[in-house]
A and B are shown apart, each in its own frame.
Chain A
Amino acid sequence: MKKLFAFIRKEFYHVFRDRRTLLILFGLPVVQIILFGFALNSEVKNISITVLDHAHDNHSEQIINKIRASSYFIFKPAVGAYSDIEEQFKEGNIKCALIFPANFGEDLSRSGKAEVQIIADGADPNTATILINYLNAIIAGYQQSLKSGAPPPYQIIPVVRQLYNETQNGSLNFIPGVIALIFMIVSTALTSVSVVREKELGTMEILLVSPFRPIMVLIAKTVPYLILSLINFIIILILSVYLLKVEIRGSLVLLFAESILFIITCLSLGLLVSNVTNSQQTAMLFSMMGMMLPTLLLTGFLFPLENMPWIFQAISHVIPSRYYFIIIKAVMLKGLGFSYIWKETLILAGMSVFLLAVALKNFKIRLS
């Protein structure tokens, strides 16, 4: 036991000696929270629009004013000819163009029918569909104001409630993802490097000839990173509650217990990576490049899992962060108890045991 303790202390020295890495470790969650919380926005705003107005009459100008008044659009100087629009698109200056034909107002007041054309930039299809909806709504609103009659009979009015998030706090969507990501980085990447580094620098020999048992080496390697991950977790929780005003609904004890379980899964994965690789470079590239994108994409954090081809849905079942993501959403944001997440917990526990066993089996006590 004393030996183990001394070894853990050695690992801590390694960690604390490297100030820059430590700074990055704690800076990472802070920066991510700030960026996701304040800079990145899935809402579409400030859409650059230009108008080609062949009509220049009362109606077209009123519609333009309505668009100008909406906060979603930013007006670029109007263009004079149809061919200018393409030029503007190609320079990346505008996202959409609105074209009024000549006689727009005349047609509208005389025959009650007129046409406008919207051209949207399909290079960003998401923005394109959303801006078309915005413009549709604005023009429809203008039309409604023209009629100024009674509202159409038979109206079903949806009253919308956002469950678990009545204040529409956008932060709720990304915090579970950020937490899972940080754990993957800190636990998996750092541990994977820690064993390989000893191999690369030659100090592994010394460990192997000592009477220290392999399981002890693995435990000692993981404890410091477990603690670092937990500190990071606390930082994220504090930032979420005080900076982003996210309410933690569930039990903190359960939240921590589940997080420790997930960290152990990540650490086991890291150990496995480090045991099967031979250089820090390979280990890092594997755990950063190889794991980062799958984690980002197949957790259900950025893109909904249900719409992916079945093969990805199948793969996502072996990605630990998927289960943790479900757990943390349930416990932290919905305030549900253990009875709702026992299945996910069991899977994570099973993964940890499996990964640790494989890692231990692959732990080579002889250097080739």
Chain B
Amino acid sequence: MKVLGFILRKEFRQIFRDKTILAMMFAVPVIQLIIFPLAANFEVKNVNVAFVDYDRSTFSQRLLNKIASSGYFRIVGNTISYQDAQRLIEKNEADIILEIPNGFERNLVREGRQEVNMAMDAINGTKSSIGGGYLMAVLADFNRSLEVNVKNVHSGPSAPAAGIDITYSIWFNPLAEYKYYMVPGILVLLLTMIGGFITALNIVREKEIGTIEQINVTPIKKWEFILGKLIPFWIVGMIVFTVGLIVMYLVYGIFPVGSLATLYLFAAVYLVALLGFGLLISTFSNSQLQAMFVAFFFIMIFILMSGFFTSIDSMPPWARQISNLTPVTHFIAVVRLIVLKGSSLSQVKTELLYLGIFAVLLNGAAILNYRKTS
């Protein structure tokens, strides 16, 4: 136990000596946590619509006004041909072309139906598909307003249409604000990157500089060495997590609905698992560069598969299996459950089991893989 105390003192001294690293461990996550939820936004505004009007009728003008007044669209180049509109798309000045053919109003009145062409710049995936959806909604709305007008003209006020009234409520986040989804996720992400990278670099640095030889000739036991590496970064990780929670509250006003104790319990177990993962990579690697790249490779896969950006449910079955086998997935799920919905420990206990298994396996492997002889 006394030996462990000495190792810990050495590690802490090393951490505090390098001021750049220390600053990076705290400043980078805080700055990124403040900045990125603001930037990560799927909401689409200012979709540029090139309105190509070959009809120039009252109806097409009304449609144009309706689109322009909806707030989501900016009309560019109103009085142009389709070729000009296409050039606007090529120059990235328009996202969607809406082409109103000649005879639009006449056909509508006479036959009751008319096609309009909508061409979207499919390269700007998110913007054009979401913008296209909005535009369709505006068109559908326009249809309905025409319907009402016509009914009023021809048959007087009609009987209310039969209908199923759909009411909906969005729980835990009534306004469907994106920050509630993003901020807890980004917090986990930053914690993972900091913890994973720094521990991955740690042992291998001693190897590269040669100081590991000095440790290898002492009677320090393997588990003492690994534990000595683990504890300081575990403490750093918990502090980063706490700072992150404070930022989350002060900047975004998100305070965990569930119990803080449960949240910290999960964070504690998750950090042990994550740091074990970093140390395992560190014992495997021969150079810092290698350790960093291996860590980056896995953490990137973890993050992509974790359900941070895209929903896990939409993945094919094999990908869901992989996703289940990564610790980040479980921790993100739990943080979102506890912070946003206030789930209790008994409701998320299986996740704790998962994280516990990861912690034991990864650290066990790290201890086994650390060799004092070369």
A16 within 8 A of B: no
**In the complex, which residue of chain A has the Cβ closest to the Cβ of B284?**
A20
B176 within 8 A of A: yes
A286: which B residues are within 8 A, CB to CB? 24
**Which of these, B28, B118, B290, B342, contacts A18 with CB under 8 Å?**
B290
* Alpha-carbon gap, A160 to B96, bound state (A): 10
* Alpha-carbon gap, A158 to B44, bound state (A): 21
Q: Which segment of A123-131, A230-238, A259-267 sits at the interface?
A: A123-131
**Which of these, A38, A152, A170, A285, contacts B21 with CB under 8 Å?**
A285
What 8 A-B pairs are tightest by C-beta distance, nearest first? A122-B173, A112-B162, A165-B122, A173-B125, A39-B319, A125-B176, A118-B168, A162-B122
Is B341 a contact partner of A307 (Cβ separation < 8 A)?
no
* Alpha-carbon gap, A232 to B28, bound state (A): 29
Q: Which residues of A contact B (CB under 8 A)?
A: 18, 20-21, 24-25, 27-28, 31-32, 35-36, 38-48, 74, 86-87, 89-92, 95, 108, 112-129, 132, 135-136, 139, 142-143, 146-147, 152-165, 168, 170, 172-173, 185, 189-190, 193, 197, 200-201, 277-282, 284-286, 288-290, 293, 297-298, 302-304, 306-309, 312, 326, 329-330, 333-334, 336, 340
* Alpha-carbon gap, A44 to B129, bound state (A): 14
Is B120 a contact partner of A163 (Cβ separation < 8 A)?
yes
A2 CB, nearest partner CB in chain B, Å: 28
**What would be 8 A-B contacts, judged by CB atoms less than 8 Å apart?**
A24-B294, A39-B322, A44-B314, A87-B347, A117-B167, A120-B171, A123-B172, A307-B41
B354 CB, nearest partner CB in chain A, Å: 13
**Which of these, B44, B173, B297, B316, contacts A125 with CB under 8 Å?**
B173
Q: Which segment of B142-150, B226-234, B267-275, B364-372 sits at the interface?
A: B142-150
Is B292 a contact partner of A125 (Cβ separation < 8 A)?
no
B66 CB, nearest partner CB in chain A, Å: 11
How many positions in chain B have a CB within 8 Å of any CB in the partner chain?
A: 113
* Alpha-carbon gap, A290 to B135, bound state (A): 38
B50 CB, nearest partner CB in chain A, Å: 11
Is A41 a contact partner of B310 (Cβ separation < 8 A)?
yes
Is B313 a contact partner of A47 (Cβ separation < 8 A)?
yes
Q: Contact mask B186-212 → A, CB, 8 Å, 1/0?
A: 000000011001100100010011000
**In the complex, which residue of chain B has the Cβ closest to the Cβ of A131?**
B168
B136 within 8 A of A: yes
A120: which B residues are within 8 A, CB to CB? 168-171
Is B120 a contact partner of A162 (Cβ separation < 8 A)?
yes
* Alpha-carbon gap, A285 to B24, bound state (A): 8
A268 CB, nearest partner CB in chain B, Å: 20
* Alpha-carbon gap, A59 to B249, bound state (A): 46
Is B39 a contact partner of A303 (Cβ separation < 8 A)?
yes
B174 within 8 A of A: yes
Is B112 a contact partner of A297 (Cβ separation < 8 A)?
no
Is B315 a contact partner of A39 (Cβ separation < 8 A)?
yes
Is B123 a contact partner of A25 (Cβ separation < 8 A)?
no
**In the complex, which residue of chain A has the Cβ closest to the Cβ of B117?**
A159
* Alpha-carbon gap, A172 to B40, bound state (A): 21
Is B305 a contact partner of A153 (Cβ separation < 8 A)?
no
B250: which A residues are within 8 A, CB to CB? none
A43: which B residues are within 8 A, CB to CB? 314
A20: which B residues are within 8 A, CB to CB? 285-286, 290, 293-294
B288: which A residues are within 8 A, CB to CB? 193, 197, 280-281, 284
